[in-house]
Amino acid sequence: MKKFLTAVPSLILLVGCGPQDVEVTLPAELMEEAGQESIEELAAEADEEEGIHDITENDDGSVAVTMDGDAHQEMMAEMEEGLSDHIQEIVDDNEFSSIEDIDANNSFDEFSFIVDQEAYENSFDGFATFGVSLMALMYQSFDDIDEEDIEVTINLEDVDDGEVFNTIVYPDAFDDMG
């Protein structure tokens, strides 16, 4: 979670000046999970960076971001790289010892966590799904996916037999956490 919260402001470190502006709306539920500090950090950094024209918190809690088209393309590439790097860090990190591998599709809306099921169920390694899902939900938001269609499915697959023993769907899973 901490890595995600520090990643959100860095997603806005953009340069470029595109001919067409792009406006994306980050859903209220996602911004609520990221926290008020993230909104404030985004707005503060946008004032310093080229490419971001406006960040506005809407009455419903969603956040509208207006930016140059080139800045948007660069940001999407940086987000993709950041999410891929984060996934690799989880796999390589001994802190999440039950997680053997993580596969993702190109749109970052479906992931397979290949895990040692027994070790996973007896650890806190499930927190890794939370961070990946937040980053993937943010990626989809900036990719201009309709708010109602933004969803991340994480399949937990046992490394020994390849069977999926649990499926977590975000943002629905946030309700189960509260």
pLDDT number for residue 49:
64
Does the pTM exceed 0.95?
Answer: no
Q: How distant, in Å, are the alpha carbons of 60, 80, 123 from that of 138?
A: 17, 11, 26
- Chain position carrying tokens 């911004």: 31
Cα atoms in the 13 Å half-sphere on the side-chain side of 44:
9
Q: What are the domain boundaries of the chain?
A: 2-177
Token pair, residue 8, equals: 């959100």
pLDDT tens profile 22-80: 998 888 877 776 666 666 776 676 655 678 888 888 899 888 889 889 889 998 999 99
Q: Are 138 and 12 in contact (CB under 8 A)?
A: no
pLDDT tens profile 83-142: 999 999 999 998 999 999 999 999 999 999 999 999 999 999 999 999 999 999 989 988
CB-count burial class (<10 Å; 0-12, 13-18, 19+) for 66: middle
